[in-house]
Each structure stands twice: as structure tokens, then as C-alpha cells.
Structure 1
Amino acid sequence: MKIIRTKDYEDMSRKAAGVIAAQVVLKPDSILGLATGSTPIGAYKQLIAWGRAGDLDFSEIRTFNLDEYRGLTRDNDQSYFYFMRHNFMDGAGIPVERTDIPDGSEPDAERECARYDAAIRAAGGIDLQLLGMGHNGHIGFNEPADEFPKGTHCVDLTASTIEANKRFFASEADVPRQAYTMGIQTIMSARKVLVAVSGEDKADIVYKAFFGPVTPLVPASILQMHPDVIVVADEAALSRCKL
């Protein structure tokens, strides 16, 4: 595991974008696993800027997203499909047909999860998987549990995750209670993993995830077992870690 300490969120965003850009330059037809949430927005903005300047070409890449709220249609402005179109895909000029996100409007969880895993396998697997990390150590929507889930699955969101996400909705009652998410095995099968973390409020979980025991009670801790992980984190997020 390689840990890159950055000054602040802006510096973290540029360096995380740099890792993704290097992947695209080295392999223009890369399969990218992407994440939503506030953390990667700065990196997406930087990638878009480099693309518009002619420094990056996204025309051959394919993308798969970590997760999607169950019960939201793709035109819902709180869906992750909408988020990705608005915050990255449209700006980077990536057509819809080269992106895949779990279909939250599909009521048959078993069918949708099987479809998604099959699509990732058919694409040849993920070259680089971008991750954020929740306050409880979740990656994707893999919440603390007694075991590490393997493939894409439907998960009940914890109270802490609902609390963290309610700022994006009109009220807490509007936050979906379930989501479709890639499983830990799918994430760990990516050839490279990039974790972006920012803020002092993440300091405790960063320490537990990357310097504590590997346990499904801290889902991100499994990344200690991956052969190629880059963590890009600002000073605040790494404040408990002695590097």
C-alpha cells in the first residue's frame, strides 16, 4: 500500500486525478471503476479540465460505478446515474453506452446484481477502482458486517450512512434505505485501487482501516490485502497516522 500525503482537499483532488490520468494515458481503453459522493468531485473536475485542454482522451474508456440507490430512477436528481452524468461523464464526453451503473429502478435485486457482475466480467474486469470511504469504513455501500460480501448485492443502509447522506435530500425520510453495490470481492479483483480521503472527521477511520486489524467490521481494512493500492489523503485525514 502506498500512501500519498497531501496538503488539503484541492491538493488531494489533483493528485488523485493524476493517478487516474496516468492510467488512461498508459491504457487508453481502460476499464475504470468510479465512485460518487463529495470526495471525488474535485478529481472529476480536474480530469474534465485536462480533457478539455487536450491532455487526456476519454473516448476509449469504459466505466462501472460502485453503487446506486435502490428505488431511484436514473432521471432522479439524487440518483448516482444523474450524479455521474452531471459531475463527470458529460463534461468528459463519455457517452452513456460506455458507462454502466446498477439500475436502481430494477425491483428484482437478484437479477440486477447478477447482470452487473456479468457485465464487469464480460468487460475483462476493472483496471483501476476509485474509492471513497465512509465514517464507518464502508467502501461502496459495503457496510460493517460479520463477513465480507463477495459480488454485487442489495444492502440495507446503516443509520450512520443515512445520516451522512441526508444532506443531499430534502429530508432524512427521503433517503433510500437500500442500495445496490459492488461486493468486496469485485472491488478486490480490480488490478489497481485508488482511495481518496479528506478531512479530520475521517482521521479515526483512516487509522483503523489502514493500520488496524483486517476485519469486516471495518470494510475498507480488506484493502490492506490488495497488491496495488494507492491512498491519497490530506493531512487532516492522516492526522492520527505516523508515516
Structure 2
Amino acid sequence: MPELPEVETTKRGLEPLIIKRKITSVHIYKKKLRWEIPKHLVTTLKNQTIQKISRRAKYLLVDFSDGQLVMHLGMTGSISVVSDSEPLKKHHHFELKLDNNTCMRFHDPRRFGSILWQKNNEQLSLLKKLGPEPLSYEFDEGTLFEAAIGKTINIKTFIMDSHVVVGVGNIYASESLFRAGISPKRKAGKTSKKRYQILVKCIKDVLLESINNGGTTLNDFSNVGGEAGYFYQILSVYDRKDRPCNRCSGTIKKIVQNQRATYYCPKCQH
């Protein structure tokens, strides 16, 4: 599933290709995604100009004069900008034709993604309860420590909770905990503020490095240009079961937490 770095990479790739472009037509080819694509977008967006694109958690927000297009890539979604003469592929669901003979297309084979609309001064319910952005000043050791008080869940599940902090997906949670030297089995409420300070820095570092390397190459993710990310090549623990730890003489182990695979080194993470 595309995570925060992959979505940020997509946003950065789209910016120079769609900002200030006027939409000449809108096409909904297959309306059923996680939720049905609103049919009014065909008329609502026609002749409007794209003002900016931003990211909130794993959602892409495309701004227009009277609202925002809210897009989520789901498990297998991707967005590309191509010539409007390029043939459609089997799983293209949505298309914005632009005034420079290009079009922005949403492709999603498994249809867990979403394309929604919110008017100005309104906010979709799925955006209202999101935690702070991990790369923002609002996310610090105090935020994590206070949110963890009394929590008996393991710390990996805790930092993957989007109400606590957004965008720390499975891969990045394992990698951040490894860098911080914290066992993923440690209880969130039994972790000191000092250790959370170290973990916050590691989360920020891991996410920034992944963004700078274009995300990971897992599953079906590719960026706007169709290229895979490269961060997967430098992962320290994820998908490295039974391989030697690159920090000590330990061996990477795999366990399952909250139905997700977790990789860690029992010797240097405690």
C-alpha cells in the first residue's frame, strides 16, 4: 500500500504538471472505488483551474476555487499525467483532461482507492480526526508521550494509529523503531519521554529519507512518471527475516502484530 512518502512523492511529481492548468473535461470511466466517485464532478470541475495540490496524511488534496478534490491511492492506486492521445488502460477510473493536451488519470486495479469532493469551509469526516503530520513542528516527544499515557498496546501499533500521528505505515514503523533501538513489543505507556524524543527524530529521518529516494518499491507503487522508488534498497530490518542485523551481531526476526508483519532485532532493540 502506498504510504506517506509515496503519496508525497506523487504530490511533488504532479505539482509542475497540473498547477494552473484548466480542466477542459472530466471523465468517470468506472465509478466504483471504495466509495462511488461523485458524478457531479463531471460538471463541477469542467472549466475550473487547478490552484494547488497538497497532502494530508495519505490523502491528496487538489484545490479549486470552490472546493477540493480528495484522493486516496488505496492499496494499488496510482496517478499519472500523460498525453491525451495515450490509450486508456483496463483499470483507469477517472480522468481530468487539461488545456495543454495532457490528462491526469487515476488507475486502481483493486479499487480500494477513493476520489471524493469537499466544498470550501467543509471537511470530510475521514479527515477530521487525523493526528499531526509527522514532519511538522506539532509532532514531538510531548505529543507522543502524552498520547501514550495509560496505553497498554505495543508501541508499533501505537505509532501506526492515524489518530496519534499520520503516515507512519508498517514499513516505516519497523524501520523507525530499529533506528531508535526500541523493541516493537514494548508497551506504549511504558516508554519514557526520552525514548520518545529519540523515536520522533528517527520517524522524521526515515520518512524524509524515503521521500528523497522516491518511496519504496513494494507492491504496485510507482511515481507519476511510472518509476519505482529506491528506499527499499536501504531498509535495515523490513523483509530481512533471518538475515544479520547491520548494527550488531544479532539476527532479524519476524513477528505478527495487529495482523501486520513486524521485523526487528531482539538483540539491540529493547
Bin for the TM-score computed over the shorter chain: 0.3 to 0.5
- The structure whose RCO (Cα within 8 Å, separation 6+) is larger is 1
TM-score normalised to structure 1 length: 0.34
What TM-score comes out, normalization by structure 2 length? 0.31
Structure with more of its chain in strand, by fraction: 2
User: Which is richer in helix?
Assistant: 1
- Structure 1 or 2, whichever has the larger Rg, is 2
